[in-house]
A and B are shown apart, each in its own frame.
Chain A
């Protein structure tokens, strides 16, 4: 083994400590950027968040159920949103679930029809007037998310979208009633902001339901 004979070969050419210091500085700078993006998203979206939360709280109070969906990291964030609504550490448990949770349904629809219908067809089966559809797409342009929002609106669901890049195609979707769009141009910072927006939405829905109960 050459490293036994020449222990400096290959490793002595660069300094791990210098790289680690650079990485730490970069991580802190990106964390600050993320915090700024999350803070400004919540500030800019406050009226939209309030309106969406009001609609969702009314829907839940009337027996509506929440269906969340997205692709990739947005699928996992949709699952996190569903878990936050359905089994929060504090507050009311509300009926919410992710449409990406069941591989049998997902693969059956993707294989037999196409990936563009994996969420819309589920809303066709489950969605009722008074239910809530929340779609997540960092680009705002995921075709299967947009299609599900259109289907959701068609059956009378309340439609809410979380998007990056100023909304993308979601921003001009006529079937989307509440578009919560953040401005970040990075997928990662967008997802972090979307998660903060989703959390804020959950807090507002909880507060409104608590207010309705105490009336």
Chain B
């Protein structure tokens, strides 16, 4: 085994990452400004989630406002997150692309109406896995040598800059106009809360609604479905 020799990098961030960080910081600032909470989770490195939360709750720079951020305990992480995360929150996950719990949490957080930020290193998650993917592609040692810490320090710093620009904190205007749901081929993710016969009560970013299960067959609580015009049309494989 050779562990020596991984020298600290001499350059800044990988191409594209500064822009990804800036975009994530603006969305995070907007959601915190609107009353959202930042939920932090790291199945493999819970200390990183705790470090992010303490940065926001108790800033090291005097005068910066304390903001609501919480590290989710790694025990039964998905169930705990399900109980806490509300539409308008942000869920920040730190983990590799191969971390099944991280992947499941990011996907479900979107169903719960939370914005998602995924920090990691090594092989990148598939495109669109989270709203904001902040990735160090080359080296998984980033979790241990200060570079993950750098990424969330920067996210914190940039979010506070955004919070000082009140005119930019209003949410982006919605782009959805009066479009027929059936004709628009809409397909939305939903998480099953409970079922009654061939009907399921589901949770979506917009709230709770009832959907018909005739096409997908029986479903159980916590299943993920794709719904279209009041019908569940596909069941997603559960990864964790």
Contact = CB atoms under 8 A, between A and B. Distances in A.
A35 B12 contact: yes
20 contacts: A19-B26, A23-B161, A24-B22, A25-B18, A26-B157, A28-B13, A72-B54, A73-B54, A73-B55, A75-B50, A79-B50, A84-B144, A90-B3, A191-B146, A192-B150, A192-B153, A194-B146, A195-B144, A200-B145, A203-B4
Interface string B137-154: 000110011110110011
A35 B9 contact: yes
Main SS of chain A's interface residues? helix
Interface of B: 1, 3-4, 6-13, 17-19, 21-23, 25-26, 45-48, 50-51, 54-55, 58, 60-61, 140-141, 144-147, 149-150, 153-154, 157-158, 161-162, 165, 167-168, 170, 173
Given A14-B168, A19-B165, A31-B154, A196 B18 contact: no
Contacts of A138: 60
Interface residues of A, number: 57
A47 interface: no
Interface of A: 3, 7, 10-11, 13-14, 16, 19-21, 23-32, 34-36, 38-39, 42, 72-73, 75-77, 79-80, 83-84, 89-91, 98, 138, 187-188, 191-196, 198-200, 202-204, 206-207, 210
B149 A192 contact: yes
B173 A3 contact: yes
B3 A203 contact: yes
A83 B47 contact: yes
Contacts of B141: 199
A2 B159 CA distance: 26
B48 A76 contact: yes
Given A7-B173, A31-B154, A80 B47 contact: yes
A195 B47 CA distance: 12
B224 to A, nearest CB: 31
